[in-house]
Chain A
Amino acid sequence: MIAAPAMPVAAAQLVNIGYALVGALMLLIAMAIAAVPLRRRAEAFIASTGLLVFIALLSLYLLGSGANLTVLSVFHLYAFSEFFVALFCVGLVLVNTLSYRYYSNYTGFLLFFAFAVVGMLIVPMANSLVTVLLGLELMAIPTSFMIVMGGKGHIEAAVKLFVLSAIAVGAFAFAIALMLPYEPGLGLYALTSSSGIGGNYLVLLAIILLIGAMGFEVAAFPFNLWIPDVYEGAPGSVTALLAGINKKVAFVALMEVLFIVFANYATQFALMLAFIAILTMFYGNLLAMVQTNVKRLFAYSSISQAGYILIGMAAATQLGIEASLFQITAHVFMIIGAFAIVLWLETQNIKSLDDYGSLASRNGFAAAALTILMLSMAGIPPLLGFFGKFLLFSSAVFGNLVYLAVIGIINSFISIYYYAKVIDRMYRGGKQKSALRIDSFTMAVVLVALIVVIVLGLYPQLLMSAASAASGALLSV
């Protein structure tokens, strides 16, 4: 236990806080179920937001006090899981705020949302492979339903997501089955060296299946062909959820399994990840350059961001994981903020790059906010995205993967083209059109994202030390 040795009372309190955290999750589901027949939108929204904030605060407190405890013998609360529970909860609050605006049947949405939330939060807290699998499944299926709730036009996207999630979860399950002879307990701990490192093709096959399975979810090449279609086809806030949270949950699952269970196979999987990272970055960035629909452009941009995040994991050092965590955090806020604006504009029937022309004169705030978020995605200092990329490229250099850093920097350079293209469109003058009024929910989400991107960009120390603690905890499990 990492907690200060002189305070056993405090340690006992920490366990109670862990119970409170899990209890709040249960309460969230109960509340969502109760809200459906009661049909009280506003109350359900406030209650769910409150619970998510509560969970975030609890996990931040646990993170601050360095807690390392097991709750109900299935949830492992240590710095890594606390970091992600807090991050996901904040991101989910933002998505929840957007959803409240987009879904007329908000209580129905909330039911699926609550189940998905539980699945998302279970994944980082899991202490066995089965729990990870369960969490992933619990996340995927309600998400498909959320898409369907958008109406008839969205069924195709929902089916695509459903089928692909099913394949991913199936491959994950098969990977677990292959490991079974070497890991009877299915717990999240390192495979013992007796399982024959290097020569054991079954384990290598399991790693490949696992990376493939999670590759679907994290949008890594070549498993990411579905991403633009589903992002474009998903209704309102679900796009933000998919890009902002679902993808990151899959990253968490990938990290947990690779760096804990397959810790002894780091050289093998690092090479695979480096390879995938290179292809993913180029795929996302090059295709983003030719997009004319802004939502698809951001879909491809988020693919390339997944590539950057994989750089840190390919470095397979503590610095690398820290960098990945940093960039994941940055991307959660950047992409949710950006999609909040894109989705709001979509309801105003502004979709293509040409429609974005003269946005600055129609709504200066939205244009400025989108500009800052995109500059952050492109890695322009002093914004949050820059520090993520800086850490990632440094970790690649420190992990003796200079080529990966060079390719990452080249990609970062390519990406400025399409971000600058959007910025250029937005600040283009031309025919004066009517002003657009941004609604307060979107405004609030964008403001939070902006504040995080700017403040943590100017003062990255806080996030860096949290990410450092989390990555250290992951490696020392």
Chain B
Amino acid sequence: MVFPIIGLSLLVSLVSALLIIVLNVRFSRLIAVAGSAAILAMLLALLAVDLPTGTLAVAESYPFVTAFNIGLDLNLNAITFTLSLMATIVALAAALAGNPEKAREKAANMLIMFFEFAALGIFASANFFIFFIFWDIGVVVLFFMINSLGSANRRYASMKFIIYEIFASSMLLLGIILIYFYTPVNSFNIQYIQAHAASIPLGTQEIIFVVMFIAFAVNMPLFPLHFWLPDAHTEASTQGSMLLSGVLTKFGAYGLLLLFTTLPIAGKFAIPVAILAGFSAVYAALVTMLQHDIKRVIAYTTIVDMGIILVAIAALNPFGEYGAVYGMLAHGITIALMFLVVGCMHHIFGERDMRIVKGVVAKATSTAYSFLLGTFGITGVPLTAGFIADVLIFIGAMQAFGVYGALPLIGLLIIGAFLYFVINKSFMLTNESSESIEYLGVSHKVGYALLLFFMFLFGILPSLLLGLVKL
């Protein structure tokens, strides 16, 4: 295909961000929406063209640092396309819904577009060098998103976030330099490394695996390295949480997917990693039950879902691999919806403690039902994208680990039960109801609708994306 779709998408997001800086605040939301909608349109057009053929492969390359043989190498395949699509949907929804906090709209829209740039870049990058560059851009953008747009305790949360994330990216840099050094012809190209990783000495492979695993596990986040997440997600603005949980955590998951498909040694680590991931999911589910702040509840469910996705990645088979990708798609869209709902609920009632907020459905019907549908998505009720993802994930996990592969379902069951408890307690019971202090804008409802549309679209018609892979 001659149309430079990836380069153009990156350019559109970057130009939109720069335009937002330059132009008046009145246009900022319009530009952000137009930019991400244009990118979404391009991606959907690509899907429409390539779906009948059953394969999707776009590769583009632009010169960057010729001395180190580093190009701006971009490619899209079924996996990276799915993730880019998810990132674009979330960014569009965030821009469209607007900031319920109604603060610093210009900065928020600029950061959304910069983050969209980083996300598209990281998913489309065909070499580890630009992967790292986009990774760090994404992290820094979200640091500012938390730091300057978040709620009361945002300083502490953003410092914690940046320290964890820069630790991760330091480890990532080390891993990338080591891979570069040990591949036969020094190269950053992911495909080349995948083809030649077997020639890296085994001991070195182990070191590289551990270093990069730590980096991605912090970002993902996985059990002992997850402490930044609850604070960051809770303190970020609504749009910040949507991007943070919806897209940023997928950087780490996608990185782990790359790591597992790149290093042959990964097979040796598959079972310990799966055990850790399963434990992380169940642990986070148990911690979820201790929370009262609904936003914090949603934040912890992210750890549960990411743990389950990692189990699928560690399964190292096609079902696991594509199940993980579909899981990232489903989780990204669904969790963005949940954070948007919780943000709007906070905006309407001025409170998001489940012990205080009562009877949301009476005062904010669309918000309450969106929360219910989002819970369906998270718990994998049929017709939602989460269902397809869970089916693929657990087929993959059980192929690889037998019955034990189904154990992480415990985590899912716990958060499912707890979320229905929350719905019962705060949303659907109308015998007493909190006073609303604000009305919900139309734009937020449009945001709900967009995310719900895609959540059900990919749940009802999974062949839209699964048609691109051979399972």
Listed in ascending order, the chain A residues whose CB lies under 8 Å from chain B are: 360, 375, 378, 380-382, 386-387, 390, 393-394, 397-398, 402, 405-406, 409-410, 412-413, 416-417, 420-421, 423-424, 427-428, 459-461, 464-465, 468
Contacts and interface: CB of A to CB of B under 8 A. Distances in A.
Contacts of B155: 424, 428
Given A382-B133, A412-B170, 8 more contacts: A381-B132, A381-B133, A381-B137, A394-B181, A398-B181, A416-B166, A427-B144, A459-B64
Contacts of B297: none
Interface stretch (B156-164, B255-263, B323-331, B403-411): B156-164
Given A410-B170, A420-B143, A421-B159, A382 B180 contact: no
Contacts of A382: 133, 137
A126 to B, nearest CB: 28
B167 interface: yes
B267 to A, nearest CB: 25
Contacts of A405: 174, 177
A390 B173 contact: yes
Interface in B30-77: 63-68
Interface in B114-133: 132-133
Interface in B165-221: 166-167, 170-171, 173-174, 177-178, 180-181
Given A420-B143, A460-B65, A394 B162 contact: no
B148 interface: yes
A381 B171 CA distance: 15
A420 B167 CA distance: 13
A449 B174 CA distance: 28
Contacts of B276: none
Contacts of B68: 464
Contacts of A386: 133, 136
B234 interface: no
B271 interface: no
6 contacts: A386-B133, A390-B173, A393-B174, A397-B178, A402-B178, A420-B162
B140 interface: yes
Contacts of B177: 390, 393-394, 397, 405
Interface of B: 63-68, 132-133, 136-137, 140, 143-144, 147-148, 155, 158-159, 162-163, 166-167, 170-171, 173-174, 177-178, 180-181
Contact of A409 (B143, B147, B173): B173
Contacts of A423: 147
A424 B147 contact: yes
Given A409-B174, A416-B162, A394 B180 contact: yes
Nearest to A428: B155
Contact of A413 (B63, B137, B159, B170): B170
The 6 closest A-B CB pairs, nearest first, are: A381-B133, A413-B170, A416-B166, A409-B170, A397-B181, A464-B67
Contact of A381 (B136, B162, B167, B174): B136
Among A378, A390, A421, A468, residue most surrounded by chain B Cβ atoms (within 10 Å): A390
B341 to A, nearest CB: 27
Contacts of B181: 394, 397-398
A465 B163 CA distance: 34
Contacts of B140: 375, 380
Name the prevailing secondary structure of the B interface residues.
helix
B170 A468 contact: no
A378 B140 CA distance: 12
Contacts of A410: 170
Contacts of A387: 65
A421 B163 CA distance: 11
A339 to B, nearest CB: 23
B170 A424 contact: no
Nearest to B21: A368
Contacts of A416: 162-163, 166
A417 B160 CA distance: 10
Nearest to A391: B68
Contacts of A412: 170
A427 B67 contact: no
B229 to A, nearest CB: 18
Contacts of B171: 409
A464 B65 CA distance: 9
A406 B158 CA distance: 25
B174 A406 contact: yes
A75 to B, nearest CB: 29
Given A381-B133, A427-B148, A420 B163 contact: yes
B65 A413 contact: no
Given A394-B181, A406-B174, A427-B147, A465 B159 contact: no
Contacts of B136: 380-381, 386
Contacts of B67: 461, 464-465, 468
B231 to A, nearest CB: 14
Contacts of A393: 173-174, 177
A417 B170 contact: no
Contacts of B170: 409-410, 412-413
Contacts of B63: 461
From B132, B158, B167, B173, residue with most partner A Cβ within 10 Å = B173
B117 to A, nearest CB: 11
A423 B180 CA distance: 33
A467 to B, nearest CB: 10
Given A397-B178, A405-B177, A427-B147, A420 B65 contact: no
A409 B211 CA distance: 12
Nearest to A425: B155
Q: Which of A420, A427, A459, A460 has the most CB of B within 10 A?
A: A420
Contacts of A420: 143, 158-159, 162-163
A423 B63 CA distance: 33
A190 B457 CA distance: 72
Contacts of B178: 397, 402
